[in-house]
Amino acid sequence: MKILNVFSHYLERGGEEVAVEEICQSLSEVTEVERCDFFSSSWTGPSAPAMWKQALGMLWNSQSLKEIREHHRRFRPDAWLVHNVFPVGSAAIYREAASIGIPIVQYVHNFRPFSVNGYLWAANRLAVGGLSRDYWTEIRHGAWQNSRLRTAWLAFTLSIMHALGWWNSVKVWIAVSDFVRQKFIAAGIPAAKIFSLHYFWKPEPRQPISEGAHYLFLGRLIEAKGILILLDAWEILERECGSAAPKLLIGGDGPLRSLVEARVERMRCVRFAGHLGGDDKRDALARCRAMIVPSLWWEALGLVVYEAYEFSRPVLAASSGGLTEVVIPGETGLLHEAGNAAEIAHQVRQMEANVTDRHTLGQQGRKWLEQNANEAEWREKFFKIASYALDATPR
């Protein structure tokens, strides 16, 4: 099976981009894969196209279509594996696939096409109207790129695609969790066309477990990730324990950086490290007591959980979206009600009071990762799903 991988890169690198790279690398080890990449950065800076050209290009980008046609003509793939096409790839890629007669396998990393920004999130709360094709809440609050106009235009583009049946060129959808799969079914995707397939992970060899120095948050500094709720929880801990409160290390960057830095300056047991990558990130993971994932939005899955398990660390996560499928309460970590700072503080106290249990949870997390995120098993399931897409496409 020859696969053309199609991905429009975001302005900021995140978990989805990491996942796409790992997927391409894994598939290329066992079959022929060619990449067709587009970059949002090409629409920024002095040489960026005029805004009206960007708007039209989001719907129909002749340059992107020329590129994908050239890839298809030369490579002759059996299927297109599509992750994200917006804004630079353009919606017309789906129409192009239909005209060529090539099946699309759509990898669903978030909630688009039923959410403009992909998160079902606007005005610091869930905005689930998109599941019924109502994007008004996201538009009203400029939920995509902080612009009402841009949000409205992408919402219009998604609506046009639904109305014209361009999404029908997707022969199978692959959701990263059962939670996302069920939401897509509720939104109208036939159950027989959408499959759930958790990400795989290639963990490094186990390391001896040592006592950690801090609790850890890794993520984008936005409301949806629950960073402000986490700081509320630590303020509770500092009021109760004073300087004896456990340490918290925050790694990440984003729109709330200034606010997070200002709050951390007033706290005794919290340190802000900014973006963490490479050895700094590995060191933060190796020295943490537990990972905390206090997300308010419906996390599609949460690769940060896998990162914690790789280092045999338990996870304290919000009972939100796909997180409930990878954090097993009492086995690999604990779940709290999304947005409940007091419950997070309580669970941290539990971790502090039971060091042996904390280590056991971390070891179980590593075991879960090895048993449930195996790369070979992922590939086997992927090809079964992709074969289904080929069988569903007239030749």
Domain boundaries, the chain: 3-200+374-391, 214-372
Burial zone of 287 (CB within 10 Å; 0-12 exposed, 13-18 middle, 19+ buried):
middle
Look up tokens 């996560």; give the residue. Answer: 317
In DSSP notation, 27-78 reads HHTTS-EEEEEEEGGGGSSTTPPPHHHHHHHHH--HHHHHHHHHHHHHH--S
Looking at residue 173, its pLDDT comes to 98
Contacting residues for 192 by C-beta, under 8 A, at least 6 apart: none
Distance CA 393, CA 395 (A): 6
Q: In this predicted structure, what is the pLDDT of residue 12?
A: 83
- The band of 394, judged by pLDDT with boundaries at 50, 70 and 90, is low
Coil, strand or helix at 25: helix
Collapse the DSSP code of 174 into the 3-class scheme (helix H, G, I; strand E, B; otherwise coil) and give the result: strand
* CATH code assigned to 214-372: 3.40.50.2000
Q: What SS3 state is found at 185?
A: helix
329-352 per-position pLDDT tens digit: 999 999 999 999 999 999 999 999
- Which residues lie closer than 8 Å to 126 by C-beta, 6 or more apart? 120, 296, 297, 298
| Mean pLDDT, rounded, for 291-314 | 96
Whether 97 shows a pLDDT value over 70: the answer reads yes
pLDDT at site 89:
95
Please give the pLDDT value at position 395.
Answer: 59
Distance CA 111, CA 120 (A): 7
State pLDDT tens for residues 156-201: 999 999 999 999 999 999 999 999 999 999 999 999 999 999 999 9
Q: Rounded to an integer, what distance in angstroms lies between the CA atom of residue 333 and that of residue 363?
A: 10
Q: Is residue 365 within 8 Å of 308, Cβ to Cβ?
A: yes
- pLDDT single digits (tens) 113-160: 999 999 999 999 999 999 999 999 999 999 999 999 999 999 999 999
Q: Minimal CA–CA distance to 232: which of 207, 261, 209, 263?
A: 263
Q: Using CA atoms, how far apart are residues 169 and 279, in angstroms rounded to an integer?
A: 42
Closest CA to 323 of 310, 308, 342: 308
Q: How many CB atoms lie within 10 A of CB 32?
A: 14
Instruction: Find the mean pLDDT for residues 54-82.
Output: 97
Over residues 93-114, mean pLDDT:
96
Architecture of domain 3-200+374-391: 3-Layer(aba) Sandwich (3.40)
Is the bond preceding 113 in cis, omega lying within 30 degrees of 0? yes
- Which strands form 214-218's sheet, in the order they lie side by side? 270-274, 248-251, 214-218, 288-293, 315-318, 333-336
The answer to whether 3-200+374-391 and 214-372 have equal CATH topology is: yes
Instruction: Give the pLDDT confidence score for residue 296 in this predicted structure.
Output: 97
pTM: 0.94
Strand pairing report for 121-122 and 194-196: unpaired
17 by DSSP, 3-state: which? helix
Which pair of structure tokens corresponds to residue 119?
């998160």
Q: How far apart are CA 64 and CA 91, in angstroms?
A: 10
Two tokens, residue 267: 């706290």
Q: DSSP string covering 252-310, please?
A: --STTHHHHHHHHHT-SSEEEEES--HHHHHHHHHTEEEEEE---S--S--HHHHHHHH
Element (H, E) at 15: helix 15-28
Query: Contact, 56 vs 50, CB < 8 A?
Result: no
**Whole-angstrom distance, CA of residue 2 vs CA of residue 20:** 17
Percent of the chain predicted with pLDDT > 70: 99
Which pLDDT does position 208 carry in this prediction? 74
Please, which pLDDT band fits residue 210 given cuts at 50, 70 and 90? Answer: confident
Mean predicted lDDT score pLDDT of the chain: 95
Which tokens belong to 297?
């939005």
In the predicted model, what is the mean pLDDT of residues 348-362?
A: 94
- What average pLDDT does range 55-64 have in this prediction? 96
Give yes or no for residue 247 having a pLDDT over 70. yes
d(CA 329, CA 307): 18
Q: DSSP readout, 337-384?
A: -TT-HHHHHHHHHHHHH-HHHHHHHHHHHHHHHHHH--HHHHHHHHHH
* Rounded Cα–Cα distance for residues 8 and 140 (Å): 25
